[in-house]
Amino acid sequence: MANLGSLAREARDSCTLYPVTCTPKYGMSLTAMILVTRINKISQFYVNEDMIEFIEETPDTIISLNTGKKIAIMETAIDVVEKIRDEKIRVRKATEF
């Protein structure tokens, strides 16, 4: 398995590694994305953590996005916060090359 530094260099060079996004005009921007599971326990998807406005447990965990959309997920609020923290650390390390 490649280390994060080589993955970041690959993303910088090829602009194809998810969740790194590249824009030709402005260069590379790193976006922290977290994997969550829908309440139906079947489908998983990535959420851009910058779009999360707040997370509540009522008793299901609901992520409210800054667009107004609400998403019910299986993970607890603590799990989501930990995923965000871990992803921010990973992205920060990936930019150290």
What pLDDT, on a 0 to 100 scale, did the predictor assign at position 80? 95
Whole-structure pTM over 0.75, yes or no?
A: no
Long-range pairs for 75-82: beta carbons < 8 A, 24 or more residues apart: 75/36, 75/37, 80/34, 80/36, 80/52, 80/55, 81/55
∠ CA 89-95-97 to the nearest 5 degrees?
A: 125
Q: What is the pLDDT along the chain (97 residues), one digit of tens a residue?
A: 444 455 445 544 443 334 444 444 444 556 678 999 999 888 999 999 999 999 999 889 999 999 999 999 999 999 999 999 998 888 888 777 6
The residue type found at 11 is A
Helices 4-14/77-94 angle, 10° precision: 70
Q: Are 85 and 70 in contact (CB under 8 A)?
A: no
